[in-house]
C-alpha cells in the first residue's frame, strides 16, 4: 500500500508514452511526476500525476527570491528488469543541507525517497537500457508562499520530474577562465545546490559559449587565484602522475561524482591531493607538461575531458593527454552504476517497478 496517491490519468499517460529515437540530455520528459506540499507546518500526502504544467501564485517566493533547491541523480537499467539509483542517500543528505542553507524546511528522507521511487518505479519501462543511457531524476523544492517579507516561505512544494537521457555528451570541453565575475560569494550559497548559483553563472557561461568555449572555469571569490569548479561540474588535474582536485570550501559544490572518483582512486591504491589549486600554477604546469591531463565530473556528464583552457588574454593552454585517466575513471564508475562491476561501497539502491494493481 502506497502512502501517496496515484491519479487515474497517470496510467493512461504511461501507457501512451513512447521513448523517441533520440533522447539527448534532459529534453525528453518522463510521463509522470510526483508532488507534495508543505502547508501549515506539515507535509501533505504526495501525489503521482502525469507530467505537465503546474499552477502556482505569481507571487510565490521561488519566482522572486530564488527560494529553490534541487538535486540531480540517475537511475540505470542496463540488462536488468529493475532500475537502480546511484548514491541516492548522498543526494538526499546534500538536498537537506541545501534547503537548510536557504532556511527552507527540508524534505523528510522518507518523503524524498517516496517521490523518487514513485517516479522511477512507474517509469521503469522508460529507463533506457543501453550503456551510458539513464533516467535523469530531478527532485526539487521551492517556496510557494506569496509576498515579499524577507524570511523563509511558510509553504513549499517538493516535486520529482525525470528525463530518459543519453549520457550528457559535451565531447572534450573547452573551458574559459572567468577572471571578472564569481559564481559564488564567500559565505554565500555556493555549497548549496540552488538555482541561484546557476543564475550567477549564466552571463559568463553565455559569453564563454559565444567565444567558442563550452563553459566557464570559476576562480575563488576571495582571491580570484584558485580554481574552484565549472558551472555544474567539479575539476581534476593529473599532475606528476597524481590526481589533484580543489579542496572543498564554502563556495564549491561538493559533487557526489567528485567524491566517487576520489573513492575509486583510493580503491586502486592511488593518492588524491585535495588542496587549493592556483590557476597560475596549473597553466604553467600544463605548459611544461607536468600537468598531463585535466577533466571535469558531475552526474550528467560523469567524467568529461578538457582539451583547452582559455584565458582572458586570449592565450590557450592544451593538456598533452585527453581522456586517458578520465576515460579509465568514467568506465570504472559507469561499470558500478550499471551493475557490471561489484559495488564495494554500497552505492546502489534498487527500485521496484510500480505497476497498476487491481
Ligand X SMILES: *Cc1c(COP(=O)(O)O)cnc(C)c1O
Binding site for ligand X (CB under 6 A): 72, 193, 197, 229, 232-234, 253, 255-258, 298-299
Which cell goes with 42?
506539515
Q: How far is CA 355 from CA 70, 124, 219, 223, 308, in A?
A: 27, 10, 48, 54, 48
User: Given the complex with ligand X, which of 31 and 298 has the nearer CB atom?
Assistant: 298
Which cell goes with 162?
525525470
Which burial class, exposed, middle or buried, applies to 8 when counting CB atoms under 10 A from its CB (0-12, 13-18, 19+)? exposed
Shortest CB 178 distance to ligand X, Å: 13
Shortest CB 165 distance to ligand X, Å: 13
User: Can you tell me the distance from the alpha carbon of 83 to that of 106, in angstroms, rounded to the nearest whole number?
Assistant: 26
String of b and e for 13-50 (b: at least 16 CB within 10 Å)? Answer: bbeebeeeeebebbebebbbbbbbbbeeeebeebbbbb
Which burial class, exposed, middle or buried, applies to 271 when counting CB atoms under 10 A from its CB (0-12, 13-18, 19+)? exposed
User: Given the complex with ligand X, which of 155 and 251 has the nearer CB atom?
Assistant: 251
Task: Map grid coordinates 541523480 to a residue.
Answer: 73
Shortest CB 257 distance to ligand X, Å: 3
User: Given the complex with ligand X, which of 215 and 282 has the nearer CB atom?
Assistant: 215
Shortest CB 309 distance to ligand X, Å: 18
Strand partners, 36: 158
User: Given the complex with ligand X, which of 72 and 128 has the nearer CB atom?
Assistant: 72
Shortest CB 259 distance to ligand X, Å: 8
User: Given the complex with ligand X, which of 146 and 254 has the nearer CB atom?
Assistant: 254
User: Given the complex with ligand X, which of 91 and 292 has the nearer CB atom?
Assistant: 91
Q: Is 302 left (phi over 0), alpha (psi -120 to 50) or beta?
A: left
Is 50 within 8 Å of 178 (Cβ atoms)? Answer: no
Shortest CB 311 distance to ligand X, Å: 21
Shortest CB 316 distance to ligand X, Å: 24
User: Given the complex with ligand X, which of 32 and 256 has the nearer CB atom?
Assistant: 256
Long-range contacts from 284-289, C-beta under 8 angstroms, 24+ separation: 285/237, 285/239, 286/317, 286/318, 286/319, 287/317, 289/320
User: Given the complex with ligand X, which of 154 and 222 has the nearer CB atom?
Assistant: 222
User: Given the complex with ligand X, which of 98 and 144 has the nearer CB atom?
Assistant: 98
User: Can you tell me the distance from the alpha carbon of 252 to that of 248, in angstroms, rounded to the nearest whole number?
Assistant: 6
Shortest CB 159 distance to ligand X, Å: 18
Cα-trace Rg, the chain: 21
Shortest CB 166 distance to ligand X, Å: 16
Helices within the chain (DSSP H only): 9-16, 61-65, 88-101, 109-122, 195-210, 256-267, 279-288, 325-337
Q: How far is CA 352 from CA 5, 18, 81, 167, in A?
A: 17, 21, 9, 23
Amino acid at each position: 500500500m502506497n502512502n501517496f496517491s496515484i491519479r487515474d490519468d497517470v496510467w493512461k499517460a504511461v501507457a501512451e508514452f513512447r521513448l523517441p529515437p533520440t533522447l539527448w540530455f534532459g529534453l525528453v520528459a518522463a510521463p509522470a511526476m510526483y508532488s507534495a506540499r508543505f502547508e501549515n507546518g506539515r507535509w501533505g500526502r504526495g501525489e503521482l500525476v502525469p507530467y505537465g504544467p503546474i499552477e502556482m501564485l505569481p507571487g510565490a517566493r521561488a519566482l522572486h527570491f530564488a527560494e529553490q533547491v534541487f538535486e540531480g541523480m540517475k537511475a540505470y537499467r542496463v540488462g536488468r528488469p529493475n532500475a537502480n539509483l546511484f548514491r541516492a542517500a548522498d543526494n538526499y543528505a546534500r538536498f537537506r543541507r541545501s534547503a537548510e542553507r536557504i532556511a527552507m524546511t527540508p524534505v523528510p528522507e522518507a518523503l524524498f525517497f517516496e517521490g523518487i521511487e514513485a517516479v522511477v518505479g512507474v517509469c521503469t519501462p522508460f529507463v533506457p537500457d543501453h550503456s551510458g543511457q539513464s533516467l535523469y531524476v530531478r527532485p526539487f523544492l521551492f517556496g510557494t508562499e506569496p509576498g515579499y517579507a524577507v524570511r523563509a516561505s511558510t509553504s513549499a512544494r517538493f516535486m520529482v520530474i525525470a528525463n530518459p537521457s543519453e549520457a550528457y555528451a559535451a565531447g572534450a570541453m573547452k573551458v574559459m577562465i572567468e577572471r571578472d565575475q564569481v559564481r559564488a560569494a564567500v559565505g554565500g550559497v555556493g555549497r548549496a545546490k540552488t538555482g541561484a548559483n546557476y543564475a550567477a553563472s549564466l552571463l559568463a557561461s553565455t559569453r564563454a559559449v559565444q567565444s567558442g568555449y563550452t563553459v566557464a572555469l570559476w576562480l575563488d571569490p576571495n582571491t580570484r587565484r584558485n580554481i574552484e569548479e565549472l558551472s555544474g561540474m567539479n575539476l581534476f588535474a593529473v599532475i606528476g602522475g597524481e590526481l589533484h582536485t580543489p579542496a572543498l570550501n564554502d563556495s564549491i559544490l561538493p559533487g557526489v561524482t567528485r567524491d566517487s572518483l576520489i573513492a575509486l582512486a583510493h580503491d586502486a591504491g592511488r593518492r588524491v591531493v585535495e588542496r587549493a589549486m592556483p590557476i597560475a600554477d596549473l597553466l604553467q604546469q600544463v605548459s611544461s607538461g607536468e600537468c598531463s591531463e585535466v577533466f571535469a565530473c558531475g552526474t550528467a556528464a560523469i567524467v568529461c575531458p578538457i582539451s583547452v583552457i582559455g584565458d582572458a588574454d586570449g592565450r590557450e593552454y592544451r593538456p598533452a593527454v585527453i581522456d586517458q585517466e578520465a576515460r579509465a575513471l568514467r568506465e570504472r564508475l559507469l561499470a558500478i552504476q550499471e551493475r557490471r562491476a561489484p559495488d564495494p561501497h554500497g552505492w546502489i539502491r534498487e527500485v521496484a517497478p510500480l505497476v497498476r494493481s487491481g
